[in-house]
Structure 1
Amino acid sequence: MKDETTRAFGAARILRQFFFGAIISGCNIAIHAMMMLVVIGVTRRVSELTSSRQALRLTAVMVAAVSLLMVAHFAEILVWSLGYAIVHVAPEGADLVYFAFVNYTTLGYGDIVPLERWRLLGPMTAMTGVLLFGWSTAVIFEVLQKVLSLIESARGGQAS
């Protein structure tokens, strides 16, 4: 009977961590999706403003896209640190923004470790970070391809 109770308590703890982590991950995905709309709008506008100078166009669009994506990642890290604060994931006095950064980027120094009852949140943070960094990489690549295509089209139009 005691083993069943222990297993049930352990399963409940894992589910609690999973659901809380899923909520924070969902918030992160929503932030990233909204930022994609901003990236698309800003990069289009920057591309239009710099269309007369192709090297400037490429540089300005890429700087804008990457800067916005970095802002998104920082906001997502702040959401994780807020989540950590809500459920008291780390030991008292731990820098939760730093802890979220280390987990989100999968750096994993190990100088701050989560309390045992919340230890699943570190890997969930890392999983979310990897997913969103991959998404950002795909967006950066797509933006680069679009700008290079516009540059090639402009060169082709001038040669006529």
Structure 2
Amino acid sequence: MMLQFLVAMLVSLISIGLHALMTVVAVDIARRAGLRHPARPRSHLMGVMMATAVVLMIAHMLEVFVWAATYAIIGVAAAEQGLLYFAFVNYTTLGYGDITPVREWRLIGPLTAMNGVLLFGWSAAVLFEVLRKTLDHFEAAKAPGFTRP
């Protein structure tokens, strides 16, 4: 059982590192785009939010690939059962249950789900903060005395 926790902690740390890197990328893109003063602020805001969401979705997909690769390395289930699918089901907490891990690794699914829940919450927080900062910037641009850079 301890090996399951250690493997899950290692893979979770890798996922968290990936998510941190992709968050930096998403925030940088949002910050650069948010500093513009478009003629159509609503459309621009939609574009900023969509770009941020896409970057975060790519992060989640990469993290699922890391989990699937780990499943293959440790032999959680037979590869022909679809380890990528199994990783997605666990990471997203969907839990169909049509693929089950071997007895020795049965805690890996809930541990994967715990990592996914944490990172989805992180993504929601990032999206909200990007929205808030972009709206704050648009409001500041309307203020008297504001000069465009």
- Normalised to the residue count of structure 1, the TM-score between the two structures is 0.86
**Mapped contact 1:50–1:56 kept (Cα < 8 A):** no
What is the distance in 2 between the residues matched to 1:157 and 1:140?
Answer: 28
Structure 2: which 5+ runs fail to align? Answer: none
Shift of 1:157: 3.8
- Normalised to the residue count of structure 2, the TM-score between the two structures is 0.92
Shift of 1:94: 1.0
Q: Which structure is higher in helix share? A: 1
Identity of aligned residues (%): 48
Aligned twin of 1:80: 67
Judging changes above 3 Å, is the alpha-carbon distance between structure 1 residues 92 and 141 closer, same or farther for their aligned structure 2 residues?
closer
The correspondence for 1:40, drawn from 3, 24, 27, is 27
Pick the structure with greater CA Rg.
1
Instruction: Give CA deviations for 1:27-54 in whole Å, capped at 9, x if unaligned.
Output: 0000001111101111112223463431
Q: Where has structure 1 moved over 6 Å in runs of 4 or more?
A: none
Aligned twin of 1:4: none
What is the distance in 2 between the residues matched to 1:62 and 1:50?
Answer: 16
Aligned twin of 1:67: 54
**Mapped contact 2:49–2:130 kept (Cα < 8 A):** yes
The total of aligned residue pairs comes to: 147
**Mapped contact 2:90–2:113 kept (Cα < 8 A):** yes
RMSD: 1.8
